Amino acid sequence: MARSSIPIPELNLTAQEMIQRATAMRRTLRDRQQATEEAGRILEQTNDEFVKAGFYRIVQPRRFGGYEFDLPTYVKVMSEVSRGCPSSGWVLALTAGHPIILADFPEHAQIEAYGTDGEYRCPSLGSPIPVKCVPGGYSVSGFWDFASGCDIATHIMVSGLIPQEGAAPKPVLMLVDRKDYSIIDNWSMVGMQGTGSRRVVVEDLFIPEYRVAPLAMWVGLSGEKVHPNPMYNGRKSSFFVIEGGAVAMGTARGMLDLYDELLRTKSMRFAPKTKLMEHHEFQHYFGVAQALMDNADAALVRAAEDYMDACTAQSERGIEFSEEEDRRIFLMVQQGTRLAFEAADRIFTTAGTQIAQTKAMLGRYYRDLAIQRTHFTQQMDRTAVNFARIHFGFAPLSPF
């Protein structure tokens, strides 16, 4: 196998050190929340700091200049960043995680994607559109919404449907360079406004065959197995929900941070006007919110560990990373995020009406979470049924 010589920026950087960097950045990220929301995208300064900290290389193969840390490390770093700024965390998580998606592509595409310096930040976009077959590849024209991170991306992975003779079209992902897409500003949301998850447009673009991979999130096939590390060769659905899950955890945890501060400083409105933290009810709220959050976090880290285990068992012991296991992990993350949502609801509804003001930070976290809970990966009822169907030998009704 051809070895690349892309240098790793900090050869001795440990996972623990990277998590600490994320934690150290939280306060600054909080201070920039409003500016990020107003800008409607991740701030250049924030992105530069993420690049410098090595966050985009967290699960990037060492061969291509990355740190190749494990998934629990990824989850902790993304959660810590999101705890400071959910929008910035979302952009980071949904681009920095995608070396694992790129791993399904042919080696040639990966070598091109990482280039000479290993700079790779790449959203992947669902809602596949039909593409045309041309000699040596495909011709693509169309658009995809919700392109989180399109501003700071080096590439995007867009989804397409390749026509098949006498059969349903084949869903695929296609790798597109930054210079080959344009951005249309159609992002106007109640929360997560700072992600700049706008529409990207491609016109008459030629995509060579080697820049195409199966849409593994949908079809469950693993790709080329370019890397020996089992983490790169698993199913992708549950991986994808782990990415969003890490952001949801951080967002709710950020609310708990503010709630802690609020209870220490704010007084009851009615007599006796004690501090909220002295009041029995608020002590109860805080304790329950803490427990919900800790269980939510624990479930997500466990899901990330289970994902790694399933990958390893497949690669090293030949035990299939089954569709059932993929959905089981998916469902586990969804239940975990529900606990975080519940904690957030309790915090928001008991913190006083002032925090519902448009520029209040606690209200912003709540709005951010309100958007996240509508994400298509968060529809737990659907996944629950599909998991059970697979478990009992029936075909699932939909990909998630």
Residue 283 in the binding site for another protein (CB under 8 A):
no
267 lies in the binding site for another protein (CB under 8 A): no
53 burial class (0-12, 13-18, 19+ CB within 10 angstroms)?
Answer: buried
Q: Is 336 in the site for another protein (CB under 8 A)?
A: no
Distance CA 63, CA 147 (A): 27
| Residue 281 sits in the site that holds another protein (CB under 8 A) | yes
Spatial distance between the Cα atoms of 72 and 304, rounded to a whole number of angstroms: 5
In the bound state with another protein, the residue whose beta carbon lies nearer, of 28 and 283, is: 283
The Cα–Cα gap between 74 and 65 comes to 16
Instruction: Based on the shown chain and the rule CB under 8 A, indicate whether residue 119 belongs to the binding site for another protein.
Output: no
Output DSSP code: residue 267.
B
When asked if residue 363 is in the footprint of another protein (CB under 8 A), the reply is: yes
Stretch that binds another protein, among 73-81, 111-119, 322-330, 348-356 (CB under 8 A): 348-356
Work out which of 24, 35, 134, 190 binds another protein, going by CB under 8 A: 190
Closest by Cα among 247, 191, 245, 195 to 366 = 191
Count of residues touching another protein (by CB under 8 A)? 43
The pair of three-digit structure tokens given for residue 339, joined into one six-digit string: 């606990």
Please, which of residues 133-162 interact with another protein by CB under 8 A? Answer: 145-146
Exactly one of 67, 114, 181, 348 binds another protein (CB under 8 A); which one?
348
Q: Tell whether residue 323 is a contact of another protein (CB under 8 A).
A: no
* Part of the chain binding another protein (CB under 8 A), chosen from 115-123, 224-232, 303-311, 365-373: 365-373
128 is a site residue for another protein (CB under 8 A): no
124 closest CA partner among 233, 44, 200, 50: 200
Please give the structure tokens belonging to residue 93: 């998580």
The token pair at 222 is 């693993």
Write the CB contacts of 215 (distance below 8 Å, at least 6 apart in sequence). Answer: 128, 159, 171, 172, 173
Residue 205 CA to residue 212 CA, distance in Å, equals 13
99 bridge partner residues: none
Q: Is residue 378 a contact point for another protein (CB under 8 A)?
A: yes
In the complex with another protein, the residue whose CB is nearer, 14 or 398, is: 398
3-class state of residue 176 by DSSP? strand
Give yes or no for a contact between 268 and 108, defined as CB atoms under 8 angstroms apart. no
Smallest separation (angstroms) from another protein to the CB of 33 = 15
* Cβ nearer to another protein, comparing 68 with 243: 243
Is residue 397 involved in binding another protein (CB under 8 A)?
Answer: yes
Ordered strands of the 137-147 beta sheet:
132-134, 137-147, 198-208, 182-184
Stretch that binds another protein, among 60-68, 198-206, 208-216, 371-379 (CB under 8 A): 371-379
Shortest distance in whole angstroms from residue 185 CB to another protein = 13
232 interacts with another protein by CB under 8 A: no
Is there a contact between 203 and 241 (Cβ–Cβ < 8 Å)?
A: no
The only residue of 351, 368, 387, 390 in contact with another protein, by rule CB under 8 A: 351
- Asked whether position 167 contacts another protein by CB under 8 A, the answer is no
Residue selected from 3, 179, 280, 317 as contacting another protein according to rule CB under 8 A = 280
Angstrom distance (rounded) from CA 289 to CA 292: 5
The DSSP secondary-structure symbol of 223 reads: -
Question: Which residue's CB is nearer to another protein, number 119 or number 345?
Answer: 345
Q: Cis omega before residue 106 (within 30°)?
A: no
User: Are 154 and 118 contacting, i.e. CB atoms less than 8 angstroms apart?
Assistant: no
The tokens describing 138, both together, are 């495909």
- Decide: is 9 part of the binding site for another protein (CB under 8 A): no
12 binds another protein (CB under 8 A): no
164 is an interface residue for another protein by CB under 8 A = no
Can you give the binding site for another protein, defined by CB under 8 A? Answer: 145-146, 168, 188-191, 218, 269, 280-281, 284-285, 345, 348-353, 355-359, 363, 366-367, 370-371, 373-376, 378-379, 381-382, 385, 397-400
